[in-house]
Amino acid sequence: MTHKFIDEVCKEISKYPRPINSSGANHTKNLIKEFAIKNNLSLKIEELKSKTIPTYFFLKAKKLVKLNILNKFKEHVEGKIFIVEIEKLRYINTLEGYIPILLIKDIVDIELYKDKINDIKPKAVIFSLITIDTSFYQRVFNFNMPVFSMSSKDLEYIEELTYITLEPVKEEQTEIENISFDIGRGPIVCIVTSISSKDDSYGAIYSASSVALSLGIAQSFCKNYNSDFRFRFLFTEEDNCDFEGVKKHIDKNLKHVYYAISIFNMGWTNKSCFYEDAYGENSLYMSEKFYKYAKSINQNIFFLKTKTMSFLHAPFKDKDIKTLMIGSYPCILSNTTYDNIESVKFEELYSWFEVLSGFLRRFHAL
């Protein structure tokens, strides 16, 4: 029954892209609110104004080329173009004055070569996937320069150029909304989920599956709850690298919060538990417990750290709250034009439900 509910919610949310303040985002928020009201859960709504930048801008070449900004970019930058396969960076000692376009086969390549890229000091970096014809939006951290992505189909339009100039886009103010509800009593375990997608992506894998999973777990707890912990389900909008929605929630709702768990890319293979991310260590004790529990019920899962990624649990770390980051990694389809309902691996989503709901039900015994 729960699997059917998760299936229906994921499909409903995936009908529309969900950038901030869009009709798709509002549709999803209304669905979450209706769920809470139907199940007699006390809703908490938080509104805030956030400074955001558009997810992409255009580089003038032979035609307008779409570049996606993957980290903070606030200053004008210009340099010579240099197109190279990322593996060949090992033979390069410096790229000062250059803006390399690095051809990569997988998102993991960014992890592997992050330190090398910082060492050779390019003015900026543009990544381009050569295995699939799409731009990607995975936010990256701990780079010493602006980082962008572009579709491989656009390479032909700039490969004859020798020099480009990139201008930062202006920040815009927009309204963000957090939605949360609690189930149970006791110290709070916060499960944090994004509802957002980019404006050219349905984000079915990236966030629709995660929202569906969170609501599925909440529904199962409404029907059968027996725990010494209170579970807070927090749904936020996010469109930049600063986690402003989560920070807003933390400012006034940190009392009694014992633990924070962020989930993403639930509708994909490569289950992963991150004992460390770009913002530092997560709770090694609880990460190991989660990993061992998943293995005990015959679920294949990776236990890893990442140099460049983080997610919505990160602001809790600054407040000395124990954290857990789980998701599917790598996933090159996440938040791209191919991230639609046809790409969701529903069996993986159902198995995530069995793992996470079972883990949370045993939380008091850990």
Domains of the chain, earliest start first: 2-53+173-365 (3.40.630.10), 56-166 (3.50.30.30)
> Cα separation of 40 and 34, whole Å?
10
Q: What are the beta bridge partners of residue 233?
A: 181, 191
> Cα separation of 128 and 199, whole Å?
20
pLDDT in tens, 72-118: 888 889 999 999 999 999 999 999 999 999 999 999 999 999 999 99
Task: Indicate the pLDDT class of residue 321, thresholds 50, 70 and 90.
Answer: very high
> Cα separation of 51 and 170, whole Å?
10
Count helices and strands in the chain by DSSP H and E runs? 8, 16
Residue from 132, 160, 268 nearest 204 by CA: 268
- Looking at residue 348, its pLDDT comes to 97
Q: What are the beta bridge partners of residue 260?
A: 190, 323
The alpha-carbon radius of gyration of the chain (Å, integer) is 21
pLDDT in tens, 261-300: 999 999 999 999 999 999 999 999 999 999 999 999 999 9
- Looking at residue 160, its pLDDT comes to 79
pLDDT in tens, 201-231: 999 999 999 999 999 999 999 998 888 999 9
| Mean pLDDT on 119-130 | 96
- Looking at residue 171, its pLDDT comes to 77
pLDDT in tens, 333-356: 999 999 999 999 999 999 999 999
Asked whether the predicted pLDDT for residue 358 surpasses 90, the reply is yes
287 CB-near residues (< 8 Å, 6+ apart): 273, 274, 275, 303, 324
**pTM passes above 0.85:** yes
Using CA atoms, how far residue 132 sits from 106, 173, 206, in Å, is 9, 33, 17
Residue from 355, 354, 345 nearest 324 by CA: 355
